Amino acid sequence: MLLKIAWRNIWRNRTRSIVVITAIAIGLLAGVFASAFMQGMMRQKIESVIKLEMSDFQFHRPQFTEEYLPKLFIPNSEAIMAEVEQEPAVAGTSGRLISMGMVGSARRSGAIRIMGIDPAKEAVVTGIDSKVVEGDFFETGKRNPVLISRKVADKYGVELKSKLVLTVQDVEGEIIAGAFRVVGIYESGNGMFDEMNIYVQQDDLRALMHIEAGVHEIAVSLTDHDLAEPLATKYQAAYPDLQVQPWLDLAAGMRFMVEALDVYLYYIVGIILLALLFSILNTMLMAVLERMREIGVLMAVGMSKARIFVMIMLETVMLTMIGGPFGLLLSYGFVTYFGEAGINLGGAAYSDLGFAAIVYPYLDARSYLEVTMMVVVMAVIAAVYPARKALKLIPVEAIRTI
Amino acid sequence: MKNIVVETKALTKTYEGIVPVYAVRGADVTIEDNEFTAIIGPSGSGKTTLLNMIGGLDRPTSGSIKVNGHELTGKTDSELIDFRLKHIGFVFQSYNLIPVLTAKENTEFIMLLQKIPKAQRDARVEQLLREVGLADKMNKRPTELSGGQQQRVAVARALASKPDFVLADEPTANLDSASASNLLDIMARLNQEEGITFIFSTHDQRVIDRARRVITLEDGVIVSDERKG
């Protein structure tokens, strides 16, 4: 009977109930979409960090990532890569010679990170070959080819077939320069990365740096990013002389960013739900105050306070149970649509910060559940005050006369 | 000897303020089984306050109230709610039915609170609504019923829990003459045929004429207590 009364009560003022249901649905949509937007943005950032910059985990000599000294290379890199490739979860490995050098064109010169790669292996690990927008990915067989980004091309005023002079420090600390020819131009979508990195063939850089064998960095790409930390830990134990780090530790601030995102999302959703809470509270309070006499009569004829409390709580829960699924459906539709179409934030500013300019909202099932639970909890909290207000009612005052 | 349903002793209700208001002063009332009693008096004489205290809706400043031997003055709010559910039927001036429930559901509601099995509830609801002449309006909501019909549903609701007595505050005040007369006929019949005890507070001469006992209050004091016949 309580269910019946509560259900019918919510339809006594149809307009008001529809407004509350709509508010719940829109509140849920706002919460879910804000979460999906942030999660999508972060997911893309993580994908970019893993796929393009860091891979899932990397091997270095200790201190290499701080000092970038040419002599800090891993001599037995081939054996390590062969061993790691035996792991079922490993999609590929790529050994890289790295030099923090100078690039010079006819117009200007500047600092750059030069990556000496095995094109076939690098393509598997980073997919950089698919980012080439002009020219090719070391396919023409020309001498001393270099792949640069659009940003570098613009900055140094070069184009395909232009000559660039790369200056590096060799393994003995001597400064050596070499002439390279632009064979390809790439755009990764990550402005910060593009501005810093150019690619040459490993053997060309090896010759310049006078490193006969070995690489400075072994990048490992996995089929499941969640395995990055356990596998890095495993290989760190196997190679105590090397530094084996997962992407979360390699990318400065990424671990903090990922962990902070969850907290940030809770705050955003919390603020949205707080506004919704007051909307529901206001409506339910009105509904209770309007029915003071009726509630007084219910108490007079013997309905216990606990039942009255439950009745009012049920009304709010029912409104939430209607608005919630409606909002979830709406949210799912929005997230799915924009997850495919993307949201163009317009301009390169985000790209320069290392974020994609087009965000594809995404929300995992757990987050849907969390936001839904937060809405339900919020609705129950919103109902408590009006319900308590009803309990404080003195029947004889509420009904005036018996 | 008849069973005493209500017994008040030196019942007093004072509203404190700059000048204390004595709503009821030292009321000694004894109501026995099967009585049909009207409490009358001018506005502000304290009859509603007296009725509220007898019904456990208001607490006296001093004195005692016993209903079927149970002292009400020491009970907590929750105990009073439970007591009202089991022992007292109420008929209100403004009907006060639950607007979202049908006549049948309004009548059944009290029995549901008492956790009476469905078969018993159905049978009693049908019997009560038939007795008040609303067997054909069972599935109507209050808004679909006239004032007189709503008040008859209220009587059925008051009787549903088989209370020790029914308190009716100005039950005919909002009814037209025909509806009031019809309602009084029903209550008088229930009193005579089923022995249900009714206590009214009223201004209505038709109720006073039908009552077998009339208690008159003035300024919170019982000034007369007359039994007819």
Mean pLDDT rounded to a whole number for chain B:
90
Q: Where are the beta strands (DSSP E) in A12-69?
A: 57-60
Phi, psi of A239 (to 5 degrees): -125, 75
pLDDT at A165: 95
Q: What is the pLDDT of residues A343-385, one digit of tens each?
A: 887 765 566 666 667 788 888 888 888 888 888 888 888 888 8
Q: CB A302 to CB B93 under 8 A?
A: no
- CB contact, 8 Å: B161 with chain A? yes
- As a whole number, mean pLDDT of residues B115-121 equals 91
Identify the residue among B92, B94, B153 best suited for mutation to test binding to A, counting A beta carbons within 10 A and taking the highest.
Answer: B92
pLDDT at B84: 92
Identify the residue among A5, A17, A295, A402 best suited for mutation to test binding to B, counting B beta carbons within 10 A and taking the highest.
Answer: A402
Chain B residues with beta carbon closer than 8 angstroms to that of A307: 113
On the question of pLDDT at B198 being above 90, the answer is: yes
Query: Does the domain formed by B4-227 have CATH 3.30.750.24?
Result: no
CA atoms of A273 and A375, how far apart (whole Å): 7
Identify the residue among B76, B98, B110, B200 best suited for mutation to test binding to A, counting A beta carbons within 10 A and taking the highest.
Answer: B98
pLDDT at A141: 75
CB neighbours (10 Å) of residue B78? 11
Q: CA angle, B186 as apex, B181 and B188 as ends, to 5°?
A: 90
- CB contact, 8 Å: A304 with chain B? yes
Could you tell me which residues come within 8 angstroms of residue A337 by beta carbon, excluding any fewer than 6 positions away? none
Q: How far is CA A199 from CA A112, A129, A161, A203, A207, in A?
A: 10, 11, 15, 12, 15
On the question of pLDDT at A401 being above 50, the answer is: no
Determine which of A242-246, A249-253, B17-21, B127-131 has the lowest per-residue pLDDT on average: A249-253
CB neighbours (10 Å) of residue A193? 19
Phi, psi of B32 (to 5 degrees): -100, 170
Residue A25 near residue A325, CB atoms below 8 Å: no
Amino acid occupying residue A160: L
pLDDT at A352: 61
Q: CB B169 to CB A1 under 8 A?
A: no
- If you measure CA to CA, which chain A residue comes closest to B55? A402
> Nearest C-alpha of chain B: how many angstroms from A390?
14
- CB contact, 8 Å: B73 with chain A? no
pLDDT band at A402 (very low <50, low <70, confident <90, very high): very low
Of all residues in chain A, the percent with pLDDT exceeding 90 is 41
- CB contact, 8 Å: B90 with chain A? yes
Mean pLDDT rounded to a whole number for chain A:
88
Written as one string, the DSSP assignment of A260-278 is HHHHHHHHHHHHHHHHHHH
- As a whole number, mean pLDDT of residues B97-124 equals 91
On the question of pLDDT at A111 being above 90, the answer is: yes
- For A169-217, give the secondary structure using H, E and C: ECCCCCEEEEEEEEEEEECCCCHHHHHHEEEEEHHHHHHHHCCCCCECE
Chain B residues with beta carbon closer than 8 angstroms to that of A302: 81-82, 84-86, 110, 113-114, 161
Q: CB A8 to CB B51 under 8 A?
A: no
- Segments making up each domain of chain A, as ranges: 2-49+256-399, 62-241
On the question of pLDDT at A276 being above 70, the answer is: yes
- CB contact, 8 Å: B165 with chain A? no
> Nearest C-alpha of chain B: how many angstroms from A342?
48
Which ipTM was obtained for this model? 0.88
Pick from A294, A305, A402: CB nearest B98:
A294
Q: CB B52 to CB A402 under 8 A?
A: yes
- As a whole number, mean pLDDT of residues B26-30 equals 93
Written as one string, the DSSP assignment of A337-370 is HHHHH-EE--SSHHHHTTS-SEE-----HHHHHH
Residue A356 near residue A44, CB atoms below 8 Å: yes
pLDDT at A317: 86
Pick from A5, A307, A402: CB nearest B51:
A402
Residue B75, classed as helix, strand or coil, is coil
- Segments making up each domain of chain B, as ranges: 4-227
Place of tokens 């490739």: A85
Of all residues in chain B, the percent with pLDDT exceeding 90 is 57
Residue B33 near residue B3, CB atoms below 8 Å: yes
On the question of pLDDT at A177 being above 60, the answer is: yes
CB neighbours (10 Å) of residue A377? 13
Q: CB A302 to CB B99 under 8 A?
A: no
> Alpha helix (H) ranges present in chain B?
47-54, 77-87, 103-113, 118-131, 147-160, 177-194, 205-210
- If you measure CA to CA, which chain A residue comes closest to B92? A402
Residue A41, classed as helix, strand or coil, is helix
Q: How far is CA B74 from CA A72, A316, B56, in A?
A: 89, 35, 11
Q: CB B101 to CB A5 under 8 A?
A: yes
- CB contact, 8 Å: B96 with chain A? yes
Helix (H) or strand (E) holding A221: strand A217-222
Amino acid occupying residue A334: F
Residue A74, classed as helix, strand or coil, is strand
Q: What is the pLDDT of residues B130-179, one digit of tens each?
A: 888 888 999 999 999 998 899 889 989 988 888 889 999 988 888 888 88
Written as one string, the DSSP assignment of B44-72 is TSSHHHHHHHHTTSS--SEEEEEETTEE-
Chain B residues with beta carbon closer than 8 angstroms to that of A292: none
- CB contact, 8 Å: A298 with chain B? yes
Q: CB A402 to CB B48 under 8 A?
A: yes
Token duo for residue A220: 């490992």
Pick from B58, B81, B108: CB nearest A304:
B81
Chain B residues with beta carbon closer than 8 angstroms to that of A17: none
Residue A348 near residue A36, CB atoms below 8 Å: no
- As a whole number, mean pLDDT of residues A293-304 equals 88
- CB contact, 8 Å: B143 with chain A? no
Q: What is the pLDDT of residues B86-109, one digit of tens each?
A: 999 999 888 889 888 999 999 998
Could you tell me which residues come within 8 angstroms of residue A179 by beta carbon, excluding any fewer than 6 positions away? A144, A163, A164, A165
Q: CB B96 to CB A395 under 8 A?
A: no
Chain A residues with beta carbon closer than 8 angstroms to that of B108: 1
